[in-house]
Amino acid sequence: MSEPAIRLDGVSKRFRVYRERNQTLKSIALRRRRSLHEDFWALRDVSFDIPQGSKFALIGPNGSGKSTLLKCIAQILYPDSGSVTSKGRLAALLEIGSGFHPELSGRDNVFLNAAILGMSKSQIRAKFDEIVDFSGVEQFIDQPVKTYSSGMYVRLAFAVAINVDPEILLLDEVLAVGDAMFQQKCMAKFKEFQNDGRTIVIVSHALPVLSSMCDYAAWLEKGRLQEVGATAGVLEHYADAHRSMARVTADGDVRWGTGDVLIDEVELLDRDGRTLHGSIRSGTPVTIRLHYTARERVASPLFSLAISASDGSVVWSGNTVDLSVAPCEVGSDYLDFVIPSLPLAGDDFTLTAVVHDKTTETMLDYRKDIQLRMKMHKASEAGYVALGGVWEQRVRVGEGV
C-alpha cells in the first residue's frame, strides 16, 4: 500500500445509552437519584491505514460502527481514545442534503453548502455552472429544495462536495438513491479523482457496487475491526460470515436472505417472449424475467441484477431504485428487465439476482451463478463488450488496388 491518506490508531468511541433520565431539576428532586445509563462502545480499538489515492469501502451490518468511524474521520465526532490523522483537504457527504436549508432554493443552498465546506464566494461563482450541470437539476435550481426528490437532493449535495476539490471525499450511503446515469457520472468522477491521487472512502450496503469500484475494504462487526485488505477477499469473507440465513432449496441451491420474497427463476427471453437456450449472439434483444413469490407483503421492494465475467469482474449492475415498483403482494408474479441489444461479447458470464427491502439493509433473497453464455458475431473480436463496429479502408483515387 502507498503512503496513507488516513491513519486510524486504536480508535474507540463510547456513547451513553440512558435507561432512565432526569430531564428537569424537579425530576432530580423527586427521584432523588441520578439518571441510569449504560456505556455503549460503538468502536473498539480500530486501527488501519487508508492508502492515498485509493477507493476504500467500509462494510458491516447495521450497528457495526461504520458511520461512527466515518464521522470520526470527518472530525464530526472525536474518539474517546486513539487517534485519527488525515492528510489533505477533506469533504464529507454523510447524509442526504446535509447542510441544506429546506426553505432556500437550490441556488442559495449551493452557495450555503459550498461556504460550509470552505469555498469562497468567488470560487463558488466560478464553479456554479459546473456544479449545477453535474447535478442535473438545472430546471429546478431556483425552487426550494424542500420540493426536491431524494435523488435531486443527493445529486446536488454530491455535486457541491466534489467541486470543493477535496483530497479526501467521505460518502455515507448517499449514492443508493442515484439513477443509473448519475452513477455513471460518479464512477467517471471517481476515476478522475483516483488519477489525481485523491482518496474516496465509502460506507454502503451495496456490495456488488463496492466490489466493482473499490480497491480496498475494511470490515467492522460490533465496533471491532474484523479484516482489512483487497476488496474481493474482504467482501467474500464478510458474505461467508453472514450466511446464517442460508437455506438449501429443493434443487440443492444455497440461497441467502429472509425469504419473505423468493426469486423462483431467472428466465432469458427473446423479443417474442420465447425462452432462449444455449449461447446468445451478441446484439440480440433480450428480456431478463425475474419470477418471484412473496410469502409476506413487501411495500417497497428493490430488485437488483449484476452480470459478472468468468474472472469475477462485475461487468454491469443495476437496480429498480428509479422505478416505482409495485408492492410485492403475497403470491407469485414477475418483473422484466428489457435489453434492446445485449452488448456482451463472447464469454461465459453469470447473472446474480437480489431483492432487498427499500433501505437495502435487509436482504430478502439472493440468487447467484445463473449462466449467461454469449457468442460473438466475429472470431476477430475479443473482450467483454461487442461494439458492433465495422472496419473501413479508404482507397486513394488513382492508386491501384
Which residues lie across from 339 on neighbouring strands?
A: 286
Co-location of 56 and 153 in the same domain: yes
What is the DSSP secondary-structure string of 198-226?
Answer: -EEEEE-S-HHHHHHH-SEEEEEETTEEE
* Same domain flag for 166 and 295: no
Helix H or strand E segment including 371:
strand 363-375
pLDDT of residue 219: 94
Is residue 398 assigned to a domain? no
Q: Cα–chain-centroid distance for residue 109? A: 25
The answer to whether the Cα torsion of 171, 175, 177, 181 is positive or negative is: positive
Same domain, 59 and 12: yes
- Tell me the three cell numbers of residue 365: 433473497
Residues 322 and 197 in one domain: no
8 and 56 co-located in one domain? yes
* 310 part of a folded domain: yes
pLDDT at position 164 is: 79
> What integer pLDDT is reported at residue 28 of this predicted model?
55
What pLDDT does residue 85 have? 94
Residue 227 and residue 359 in one domain: no
Check which CATH number belongs to the domain holding 325 and give it. 2.70.50.60
Residue 171 lies in a domain: yes
Judge if 233 and 273 occupy the same domain. no
Residue, of 229 and 196, whose pLDDT is higher = 229
Is the pLDDT at 201 greater than 90? The verdict is yes
Report the distance separating Cα 52 and Cα 39, nearest Å: 34
Q: The CATH number of the domain where 120 resides is what?
A: 3.40.50.300
pLDDT digits (tens, 9 = 90+) for 129-188: 999 998 888 889 999 988 887 778 888 888 888 887 888 989 887 655 556 677 777 777
- CB distance 332 to 262 below 8 Å: no
Whether 238 has a pLDDT exceeding 90, the answer reads no
DSSP string, 139-159: GGTTSBGGGS-HHHHHHHHHH
Percent of the chain at pLDDT above 90?
28
Model confidence band, residue 63 (pLDDT cutoffs 50, 70, 90): confident
- Does residue 237 sit in helix, strand or coil? helix
Q: How many CB atoms lie within 10 A of CB 61?
A: 15
Alpha-carbon gap, residue 91 to 341, rounded angstroms:
40
Q: Are 31 and 22 in contact (CB under 8 A)?
A: yes
In the prediction, which pLDDT does 248 show? 56
Section 239-260 average pLDDT: 66
Number of neighbours of residue 89 by Cβ within 10 angstroms: 14
Mean pLDDT of 61-73: 89
Contact status, residue 269 vs residue 286, Cβ threshold 8 Å:
yes
Q: What local confidence, expressed as pLDDT, does residue 24 receive? A: 61
The residue among 241, 258, 279 that closes a domain is 241
397 part of a folded domain: no
Quick check: pTM over 0.75?
A: no
Q: pLDDT value at position 337?
A: 94
Domain count, the chain: 2
Instruction: Give the residue-averaged pLDDT of 207-217.
Output: 81
Distance of CA 367 to the CA centre of its chain: 19
Q: How far is CA 288 from CA 71, 186, 273, 374, in A?
A: 40, 26, 10, 14
Distance CA 194, CA 269 (A): 39
Backbone angles phi, psi at 360, to 5 degrees: 65, 5
Position 381 in a domain: no
Q: Which residues pair with 287 in a beta bridge?
A: 269, 338
The position carrying cell 445529486 is 155
Please check whether residue 69 lies inside any domain of the structure: yes
Say whether pLDDT at 216 is over 90.
Answer: yes
User: Do 217 and 276 fall within a single domain?
Assistant: no
My answer on whether 136 and 225 are in the same domain is yes
The amino acid that residue 7 corresponds to is R
| Mean pLDDT of the 40-54 span | 92
Where is pLDDT greater, at 13 or 148?
13
Cell 463472447 belongs to residue: 346
Tell me the pLDDT tens digit for each residue of 106-116: 999 999 888 88
Range of the domain at 57: 4-241
Which grid cell sits at 283?
A: 446484439
Q: Using the 3D structure, point to which of 189, 222, 241 is the last residue of a domain.
A: 241
> Is 237 in the same domain as 280?
no
State the pLDDT at residue 34: 59
